[in-house]
Amino acid sequence: MSTLQPEATDWQQDDLLPLCTPEEFRRRFGPQADPGDETGPAGLPPAVVEQAARIIRQVREAGDRALLELTEKFDGVRLDRLFITKEETAAAWDLLPAADKAALQTAAARIEEYHRRSRPRSWMEPAPDGGWWGQMMRPVARAGIYVPGGRHPYPSTVIMAGIPARVAGVPEVVLATPPRPDGTVDPLILGAAHLVGARLVVKVGGAQAIAALAYGTASVPRCDLVVGPGNAYVTAAKALVYGQVGIDGLMGPSEIAVVADDTADPAWVAADLAAQGEHGPDSVVVLLTTSSRLVTAVRDQLRKKLARLEEEGSPDAEVLAQSLARGAAVVNGDLAQGVDLANAMGPEHLHLYVDKPWDLLPLVQHAGAVYLGPWAPVAFGDYAAGPNHILPTGGTARYAAGLTVATFLRAGSVFAGSATALAAAGEAAAHLARREGLRAHADSLTARLSALVPEGDSGTGPGRDAGEATGKGRGGGEG
């Protein structure tokens, strides 16, 4: 139920969600926003990229010894061992409180069901003019998952990355996460690692963890793919090791854009904005609405929340205040304009908190994830709704997607030729090869064109070999 207050007279001025025009919003948050000349990958400061590069070199040269030294330097922890075994994570799971186990299992079940439905499949079909063509899906052999530490543990990231890897059929998963001050890893992280079947948990964070997963050390097996969010140094390291390994993307600070009308409950809108704002002072929170009264009411709710946090002495108060001050509110003439601004931003999370959200969904072009209506808070998606919470940020939703089962899969094309297929299209292929100046390519084709077998040859069919290629034979299946 909406709790909007009467029209305010000072709604245009505030240090929480400062009001800006649509033009100002596009300049600040749109794709044309200028990050400045002195930026590295993903808009990172050059000093951060250079530090990450030094750390990567150190890990490549000194391996485990570098990991131990860097963990002591940056985390203040002297480790006697770098990793936790699968048997130890199983023991940690057994010791978790029943409520923790139940919450993790409930979230994991929903995440697995969603991701199984979206798993790409291998397929094999007869090709036109004879022969067969298809696609085989294969998982990477080993995936590394980075789980951030710092202010809070993130078992949700373990299951958001680990379960799609399991659904994809990845044989081996290695986790890396920073240790706590006493050198241990939070039991919730270890329990979640057991739940997703991780082989190892490496007690290392930051750029050094990414380097270890990408290049391997005596204790850390080299991975084919590294996924997961992290701080600026983690993001810089992922950018630098890309090409040596695959990555899911360069995830930056958390983002939320709420498109709302006057049916939205300001207390709920404020709670949703604060939920993403509490991730860090560089989080991006914006409200795009048709109602100036909603802007005022949401600000009032945010002030109350900040006051409560300050009374409790919570460090989250300063973090949230900073993120809200960096945010924005825009009052638009209609909801379609609000969605248009959201498209220009390409936010990590887009919440359509309006009376008829399904009417707006076709207008959405760029967003990591879309949440519809009052009963779909982004926080639910962060944990247990089902879709993934590892999403593109910084406007990269214009061309990138969040983590899915496909992140852990490689698609390989399959073609079984035939004389009839070559007769139908071989001369066209040879002509194009000659036009490109690639005579050997043309010769490869004309040699066969001059020796075509009689009509009726359908080429190699999907027998045992083709079945192995797709994993399930002619029908495709999971592969």
Residues recognised as catalytic: 348-349
The arrangement of strands across the sheet holding 142-146 comes to 83-85, 200-202, 172-176, 142-146, 225-227, 246-247
Which amino acid, 238? Answer: K
Contact 334, 359 (CB under 8 A): no
> Residue 202 is encoded by which pair of tokens?
């490496």
Which amino acid, 379? Answer: A
Q: Of 317, 298, 296, 292, which Cα lies nearest the Cα of 307?
A: 317
Which amino acid, 35? Answer: P
Task: Tell me the C-alpha distance between 396 and 177, whole Å.
Answer: 25
Task: Tell me the C-alpha distance between 476 and 171, whole Å.
Answer: 21
136: left (phi over 0), alpha (psi -120 to 50) or beta: beta
Task: Tell me the C-alpha distance between 45 and 53, whole Å.
Answer: 13
